[in-house]
Structure 1
C-alpha cells in the first residue's frame, strides 16, 4: 500500500502521533511519503487564477507539485491538522486553497476518484471536528468518496502529556478505522460524487465555468459526453517511496 501523510504542522505533536498510530497499524506492506506544512509548502494562494489557465504557471507550482505527485501515487491519504481556533491550521488551509483547481467544478484529476483518505485532528478541548470538516469537504469535491474522519480531545498540550487512558481509547478507535480500511479493493464512487460530477459537467457544457480553458479540459477528457474518470482504468506513474 502506498500512503501519503500530509501534516498541517511542522512539529510532531498529538495529531501527528495519532496519524502515525494509524499508519503503523496497517498490517500490509507499505510505502510512506511524509510532508509537513508549512515546511514543504510555505505559501498562500495569491488569487491570480494563473492555475486555471495552466497549473504550471502557479508561482508555487514546484513545491505544490512535489506533494501532488505523491498524492497521485498513493492508495491512502492521511491528512492531519491540529485544531487552530476551531479550524484547520493556516498552512493546511493554504494547501487546500492552492489546490482549488482540483475541485469538480474546475479541473478535477482522474486519480483522485480512486483514493481513500483519513482526516485526523486533535485538540486540547473543543473543535477537532470543526478543523476536520473543511479538509474533508475539499477532499470530497476533489472526487474522493471514501473519507474517514477522526477527531479527539486529548486534554493536553503535547503527546507526552496525554494520559495513558486517553491513549488507550485512541488506540481502540484507530483499530476500528483500520478495519474499515482493510482490503485492496478500490473504493466505490458514491452517488453523491457522481451527481456532483454530472452537475458540474452540465455547467461546463453551458459555458458556466471559470474559463474557456476549463471547458476545453473537460472536452479533452470526454467528460462532456459519456466518459467518466472513475470508469477508466487509471495507472499511476512510477515513483519510488520509502518502505516502512
Structure 2
C-alpha cells in the first residue's frame, strides 16, 4: 500500500488512459487482502461463495468481471510478487480454465506492472501474466522496470522521462485494443484441452455442471 515506484508508474498508465474517461476501480493490498487460502477446496467443489473468505474475495471478482482492462501490479520482492497479492491470487484458482472460467475474461486485455531497484521484474510480470492467461484473458502486456532506486522520489529524472515515454506509447496501444481483442490460438487450444478434460471429469461435479450449463462441453465457445 505504500506509494512507491510501482504505484506511481501505474498511476502514469491510468493518467494516459484517462482521455477516454474510464471508470477506474482500485484495490490495494494488504487493505483488501483476504485471509490466507486454507486449501479447503470449497471453491472447487461447493462453489466460490462457500470460500471462508468469500466476503472479501467476491467484491473484487465482481469488479474484475465488469472491467474491460485488468491491471495487476506488484513491486518485486525477492524475485516474486508481494505475498499479499499472491494471497489474493491463490483464491482465484476456481476461475482458472481447468475449473470455472468466466466468459467475459475471454474479451479482456491485461496489463501487468512491476518495478525493482535491481533485478527481478521479469519474473514478477511473467507470473502475473500467467495468472491472467489461465483466467482466460487472451492478451496481456507486461511492463517491468528496474528503477535503480529504493523509492520513486530518488529515481533519476532521466529515468522518469524514459518511463513516461514508454508508458505513453504502451498506453496508446492498449487504448486502441480495449474492447477489440479476441482469443488467439494459444487460448483457444488451452480451452479445447480443458473442454476435453471436463468431458471425462468424474471428480468434480461442480466444475462439470458449470461447463454443461454454459454449453461449452457441447461445442459452444465463450467468445
- TM range, smaller chain: over 0.9
Q: Do the aligned partners of 1:96 and 1:135 also contact (CA within 8 Å) in 2?
A: no
* 1:44 paired to 2:33: no
Match of 2:188 among 171, 186, 194: 194
Q: Which residue of 1 aligns with 2:92?
A: 99
Give the match for residue 20 of structure 2: 28
Aligned-residue offset at 1:227: 0.8
TM-score normalised by length of structure 2: 0.95
Comparing 69-78 and 119-128, the one that deviates more? 69-78
Q: How many residues align?
A: 220
Point out where structure 2 has 5 or more consecutive residues left out of the alignment. none
Give CA-to-partner distance per residue, 1:138-194, whole Å, 9 cap, x none: 100100011000000011111111110110111111012112112354211111101
Whether contact under 8 Å (1:87, 1:130) holds in the other structure is yes
- Aligned: 1:140 with 2:133: yes
- RMSD (Å), alpha carbons: 1.1
1:94: Cα distance to partner? 1.0
Which of 198, 202, 205 does residue 204 from structure 1 map onto? 198
TM-score by length of 1: 0.87
Report the structure, 1 or 2, having the larger helix content: 2
Q: Distance in 1 between matches of 2:22 and 2:215?
A: 34
Task: Indicate the residue corresponding to 2:4 in structure 1.
Answer: 13
Structure 2 distance, partners of 1:37, 1:149, is 20
Shift of 1:114: 1.4
More strand by share: 1
Instruction: Kindly indicate whether the alpha-carbon contact (under 8 Å) linking 2:109 and 2:140 is maintained by their aligned counterparts in 1.
Output: yes
Shift of 1:38: 1.2
